[in-house]
Each structure stands twice: as C-alpha cells, then as structure tokens.
Structure 1
Amino acid sequence: MDILIGGVSARGLAESAVQSGLRHRIVTVDYFGDFDLGLLCTYRSIKRDLNLPYDPGYLIQASAGLTFDALMYVANLENYPSVVEVMAGGKQILGNSPTVLGLVRDPVTFFECLTNAGISAPKIIIDSEPLDLDFSIRWLRKPLRSGGGHGIAIHLPGDRLETGFFLQEYLDGLPYGAVFAADGRDACLLGISEQLIGRTEFGADDFRYCGSILGPMGTGQAEWGDLVDRIRQVVRAITREFHLVGVNGIDFILKGKTVYPLEVNPRYTASMELVEWAYGLNIFKTHLDACQGRLPDFDLFAYLDAGCFGKAIRFASRDMIFHDPRWWFDRGVRDLPLEGEQIAQGKPICTAFSRGHNRSECYNRLVRAAAEIEWTCLHTTTHIEQQHA
C-alpha cells in the first residue's frame, strides 16, 4: 500500500513507518522537509518546494499529483478536518475521520464529555463577550485550533476575547501527556510523559512545547500505579465517547493527585517516538493494527524500572546558519535542517534525545545537548571539523 503522511512535520511517523518492516511505500508532505526526512522517503515540502510559509491549506497544494492509496495525518491537521478530507480525495483515511476530529477537538463537546464521565476538568468560557468574568480565577486565552502551545497567553482583566479563542481556567500543576492506542471501543495506554513547556534552556518561552520526558518521574510504585490506572480510565472513557481509533494523545495537568484533561490530540504525537525507544513498540504498526480493531498486548506498569527517556526541541536564540546535518544525524539528532540553511531567531533548529536512570539525569543531558547544538551553530564549522579529524 502507498501511504501519504501529511502535517507540519512528518519525520517522526515516517521514521516509525520505515522501521516497522512493513512493506508500505511512504510518501510525505510537510512544512520543513528535513534532511533526515529525505533519508527516509520521497517528500514534498511547503518550505522548500513551494517557498511558502506554513498553512494547512498548502498541504493540499503540495500533495497534488502524488500517488497514494491511503492518508495518515500528523499535527496540526486535527484542527482542519476539511483539509484532511480534501487531501484524502475519497481514499482511505488511516485514523480518526474528519467527523470525529470536529467533535473531539471542540472544547465544549470535549469538556461536556469529561463532566458526564465524572472526570475533573478546568472551567472554560467560549462566549466572546463574557459577562461577570470571575477574576479570582486565573484564565488562559487559548486558540480553538490549538497546537504546541502557540497562541496561549494569560488573559488579563480588560482583555478582549477575540474570535477563534476561548478561556480556560489556569491550573497550577504539572503539565503531562499520555499516549494510547484505541479501537473505537477500548484503549491501551502506551506511555505517560512530562511535557517541557516554555523552557529557556531550549530557547522556548511562554507556553511553547519544547519536549517530553517519558517515565515514572521518581514516583513510588504505588503512586505511579495509581496514576496509570486513572489515566487508563480517562482514555477509555474518551475513546468510548468519540469512537477514537489508532494512536492518540491527551494533554493533562496533574495537580496533587487529580488529573485534569485539557485536550485530545487524535493522531500521532511528539512523545510517541520515546515510547518506541523505551518500550520497543512500533507506533506505525500499532496505529495500523488499532485502526483495524487490534490493540497491543502491552502493560505500561511493567516498565516501572525502564528509566526516563527524553527529547527536546532546540529553538534558535538568534539568527544562525546550520552546518553538517549528516554528522548530527549520526549522533542521534533528528529534524535536521539542510547544509547551510539559515535559521531565524525563535525557530526550531533540531531535536535532541537523552535517557537516564531518573528524570534529573535525563533532563540534564537534554540541556547539555541543546547547549552544544546552539554553540556549534553560532561558531562556524570548526568545532565539527576538529571532531571529524
């Protein structure tokens, strides 16, 4: 089968597809057209082939004329069901349907589902002219088409709520994500990770997603088991309500021992390659199987002692030029620009990975890797050339 993978960045899922050993031909359309994506499959890039900024609609233009039998999508196409439908062009969609996307990504529908299931949830306000807004509550202003933390800000008294945004209660807790496979009726929890948000060590700010650390985070066995059980209940309830299929993710805040789901990402997510690395599950195969009603025989609790696995996106602190992508690739770095590519301040450079016996060790290694990437990009190629010698 020829499978088209489309979205902002296709590298992660395309790499999983190639590593699956399944005999599918993979072709991708995304924005970046990374160096390492070109090592995996045929691709088209909005940035390189169309010389345009990212817009989901341009994925339609980039995919025109490509031959494929089925479509898989990654971020942020869950927010654009109509684009998914047009890109598929009547061919099979391997994942949640456009109808399901429209329901599960609607905040009102999603939070009503949580309330009906007895699951804790933050308060939300959709009205563009909220009356008597309770400012004893701290509010976040979030885009209805959210993704990666872009556009999220603290909502202050006197601020207008613009069209396309809603208010969500700010919860003072730890940001986490969970990933799971679903068959439309039941779900199998695959991993729980801490989300790295706005970390200056990686050049990020505000609420911008910049990485994940997968693992128990130093919790005791009983506490970790309790969290796993609670997240299993949440993803099963959401799966039953929305008939989710394939691999999916959910963002949540952990405040004390209470889980507050924030949103569902009904597609491949950034932390899933950590699950592959840590637990040996191939996400591409797991996704195909789940779409066909087969969930993996997998128990997350069995991996209590696996340690922690991390990834971090390094954002540029200033304008820079990237060199020697092959050298970085051989060191395990991914999402690499082409040789000599200019990276503007605030834009992603590449993704580093680490593992450790605990959260602290894993995180510190990510910080060191990110610092090396930044330093090398800012100091020509001498550093790399010396290590080649």
Structure 2
Amino acid sequence: MNDPERGNMQNILVIGFDTRNIVCSASRAGYTVCSIDAFCDFDLRECAYASSFLECKTIQELHRLKTSRIKAQMAEFGLEFDALVPGSGLEMLDHKDFSCSVLASSPDAMQKASDKLYLSKKLEALGIPHPRCYSPEELDAVEYPVMIKPISGGGGVFNRIARSKQELLAILEELHGLNPELKEETVVIQEFLEGIPSSVSLLSTKNEALSVAVNEQLIGIPWLSRLPFVYCGNITPFRNEQAEEMEALAEELMLEFRLLGSNGVDFLASKKGPVVLEINPRFQGSLDTVEMAMNINLFEAHAGCFRGELPEKPKAKGFAARGVIYSDRELFIDQKLMELILREKGADVPSQGTVIEPDGPLTSLFARTSTREEAVLSLEKGANRIRAFIENHTKTEGA
C-alpha cells in the first residue's frame, strides 16, 4: 500500500454519486484528480484531470456495482492512483479490494454511523438527545406525528411525515413503489421534532476530533424545490447559542464511532437544546460553504487526518451560502440555458444536452456576504432569474 504522505501522494480517484465538490477541492489543493461520477457536470470536468460516468442512476444499481467494473474504469484513466476517496453512495467500498490507499473510515465504522436505527440505540446509551425511533414490530406503539426516512442515505428525497397509522401504512406502500428496496426493514420511523436543521462539519484522526464549522441547513425551501424535506443547501456559519454544544457532541460522536477525515453530524436546534438526527460519514454537501466561509481546503485537511494531523481551528470570515435548485419539470439543457447557468457563477453546472428529471437537482448557486440575510436574498434572486428564464424559454419553444 502506498504511504499517504503528501509528498508521495499525487494521483487521486474520487468515486461517488455526486463528487464535484470533492474533486474541485482536491484540484485546488494541487492534486491530479480523476472522477467516476453519475453526473459528470461541466464544472467537474473543468476541475478533473479526467472523468467517466458512474453507470448507476439509482441506489439499487449502486448496491449491485461490482469492484471489477470500478477497476476497469480506473485502468482506462491510464494513471497509477495513490489514493481513492469514496463519495456519496459508495461509502461502503471494501478497502481490501484496492491496491492504493483508501482515504476513508473503515466500512464497518461507516456502516454503523450511517444506520439510523443503530445510531438511535447508541445515542440512547450515551444519553445524547435524539428522536425516538420505532422498529417495524412497534407500529402499534407509535406516537404521531412521525418522520419516515430511509435507514441510510437519501438526501431527504424520500422523507415523509405521517400523522396517523393509516397515513404511515400508505407512505410505506408509496415508498416501496418508488424504490423496491424501501420496505419496513429498510426505513426508519422516527419521532417528528420541530427545530432549525443544522450540521457540524468535522475533521478527525484516530485520537482527536475538531469541529471546523457549524452550518444552517436549507431543507425543503419552496423557491428551491417542491419537495418538502429535500436538502437545498446550507449557510456557514450558523450563529446560534447551541452551536458550541453541537460541536462538543459531534466531536464525541466522531471518536465514539472511530470515524476518520471529513465527516458531518446533522442536528436540530430545538427549544430544548440540540438533538442529533444523523451522522454523514463522508464529505458533506456543506463542503463549498465551509471552504468559502472558513478559508480552509477540506480535501487537504482530510488527507492530513490519515497522517494524524489536524489543522488549527479556523475562524469564519463573513457568511457563505449554497442553494441547490431542483427542476420542477423535465428539462433539456440547451446552449442558452447552460449559458444562463454559467453566468450565475454557481456550481454543479449540467453539460449541454443533459436531461434533468422532474424534481432532480438542476444547479447550485452561491453567495458570499457579510450578513446571513444578504446571502439568502442573493440566492433567492438567482433562483428567480433561472426560474423566469426557464418559464419564458419553455413558452417560446411551445409557441
């Protein structure tokens, strides 16, 4: 296995469902980066040395992806890789299958941290506040309302609220219809709590954990998506009196679950204090805003964790916000629409000729300002410009 010292590590492969933010961070840090990614967005290809398509469009297909297929794609790049970094959807890759270093926590640690039911039991044992989780055998004991979500992953796309047993059973049937892998055993039924969605971004070695930033999460924002619980971006930093307590709890969990590198913990800032929702044992969607607001390169810091190194705790410089716009229709990306998106100077820019599914992510917008309010206003104006263009463009084409 190659020594993960920075001097000996140059060629990196990032593989995952959506890897743009990791690839661009590694590229800015001076690495030669290749990517296997489901979208291969325009800006990912601009950052990467080379990229190829992850030929999986659903979670079911990801679960069936064979190591031999990944190795064949790696060979096509014509580089000898020093390290592999798994992104979203491929956290559970078996490190033993690859001859290069894998800059990630062990698959066992990732599996436990990702499993919301296992996490619930662990949090109970540690005395850390969290929503109560019900197993499929406890349906008669459920106190409503409850949130139904996949046991791991999902980005909020499949999250639903049930206010009665009848609604709960109907939702379980609906989710199974949308994704055959979603059934009673693979979803979590969780007490529904009110609060401000937030997260802590961390770096950790075997012995230490450092909270880099606390982020406000944008969930189900109507001017960004029609889906009520989907991840729509975030604002860094989150100025809240519970932030320090969140940092301390998140650091405790990193060491408890033996997670390495860049990871995140999702919270609710509730009236009763911080409540842990889930752990994301991988690079998070907040990577862009954390880097912008905290003036840190997270990929370089992540790689350092595997050498036992943590950076100094960074200080926020203003506010950085990311807004993910979801399409409200099937959308063909022609030259005019792509040019408009490029003018907004965002990220996740779909390539010309791409077709975006209804409720699929279209692009990300960014704002860097001195106040939170200015950041949100900037995102909203950008989203409105794109929506108005699509509306007029569609009418013109249909005329």
For residues 30-81 of structure 1, the C-alpha deviation after alignment (integer angstroms, 9 at most, x for no partner) is: 11111111111111113xxx48656324485355241433211111333xx2
Residue matched to 2:175: none
Distance 1:284 1:326, change over 3 A: farther
- 1:284 aligned partner: 299
Q: Which of the residues 3, 8, 29 maps onto 2:17?
A: 8
Q: Are 1:184 and 1:243, in contact at CA under 8 Å, matched by a contact in 2?
A: yes
Which of these residues, 353, 356, 379, is aligned with residue 369 of structure 2? 356
- Contact 2:157–2:227 (CA<8 Å) still a contact in 1? no
Query: How far apart, in 2, do the equivalents of 1:167 and 1:123 lie?
Result: 8
> How many Å separate the matches in 1 of 2:284 and 2:94?
20
Secondary structure, aligned partner of 1:336: coil
The structural deviation recorded for 1:378 is 4.0
Match of 1:337 in 2: 350
Q: Deviations over 1:260-319 (max 9, x none)?
A: 1111101100101111111110010010011221111114xx43xx33211111111223
Of 147, 150, 153, 1:146 maps to 153
What's 2:319 paired with?
A: 308
**How far apart are the structure 2 equivalents of 1:252 and 1:175?**
6
Give me the TM-score of the superposition, normalised by structure 2: 0.83
Equivalent residue in structure 2 for 1:319, among 323, 330, 352: 330
- Is residue 202–residue 251 contact of structure 2 (8 Å, CA) maintained in 1? no
Q: Structure 1 residues 4, 320: closer, same or farther in 2, change over 3 A?
A: same
Deviation digits for residues 67-116 of structure 1 (CA, Å, limit 9, x no counterpart): 433211111333xx2xx117953532101111111221223432233233
* Alignment map for 1:172-191 (pairs within 5 Å): 172-191=194-213
Residues 62/35 of structure 1: CA separation in 2 closer, same or farther (3 Å cut): farther
- Give the letter for the 1:373 counterpart: I
TM-score by length of 1: 0.85
Structure 1 residue 323 displacement after superposition: 3.6
Note the C-alpha offset of 1:380: 4.0
Change (3 A) 1:245 1:66: same
| Contact map agreement 1:320 1:378 (CA 8 A) in 2 | no
Structure 2 letter corresponding to 1:133: A
In structure 2, relative to structure 1, the CA distance for the partners of 1:332 and 1:62 (3 Å cut) is: farther
- Report if the CA contact (8 A) 1:6-1:59 is conserved: no
- Alignment match, 2:261: 246
Tell me what 2:278 maps to.
263
Q: Contact between 1:311 and 1:352, CA under 8 Å: does it hold in 2?
A: yes
Corresponding residue SS for 1:371 = helix
Q: 2:165 aligns with which of 157, 165, 168?
A: 157
- Which amino acid in the other structure matches residue 192 of structure 2? Y
1:170 aligns with 2:178: no
Instruction: Give runs of ≥4 in structure 1 deviating > 4 Å.
Output: 50-54
Any idea what SS the aligned residue of 2:141 has? coil
Find the counterpart in structure 2 of residue 387 from structure 1. none
**Displacement, 1:18?**
0.6
1: CA distance between counterparts of 2:288 and 2:57?
28
Amino acid at match of 1:130: E
Deviation string 1:215-261 (CA, Å, 9 cap, x unpaired) is 244x5xxx3xxx33212211221122111110001111110251111
Determine the structure 2 residue equivalent to 1:206: 228
Q: Which residue of 2 aligns with 1:114?
A: 123
Unaligned runs of 5+ in 2: 1-9, 76-80, 173-183
Aligned residues: 361
C-alpha separation in 2, matches of 1:86 and 1:313: 32
Between the aligned partners of 1:178 and 1:6, the Cα distance in structure 2 is 23
Between the aligned partners of 1:116 and 1:129, the Cα distance in structure 2 is: 21
CA distance, structure 2, for counterparts of residue 320 and residue 262 of structure 1: 33
Matched residue type, 1:44: S
- Conserved? CA contact 2:35–2:51, under 8 Å: yes
**CA drift at 1:140:** 1.0
Percent identity of equivalent pairs: 26
CA distance in 2, matches of 1:73, 1:334: 20
More deviation in 92-101 or 337-346? 337-346
Give, in angstroms, the shift of residue 170 of structure 1: 0.7
SS at match of 1:140: strand
- Residue ranges of structure 1 left out of the alignment (5+ in a row): 384-389
Give the drift of 1:364. Answer: 1.5
Distance in structure 2 (CA, Å) of the matches to 1:17 and 1:330? 24
Q: Aligned partners of 1:289 and 1:8: how far apart in 2?
A: 24
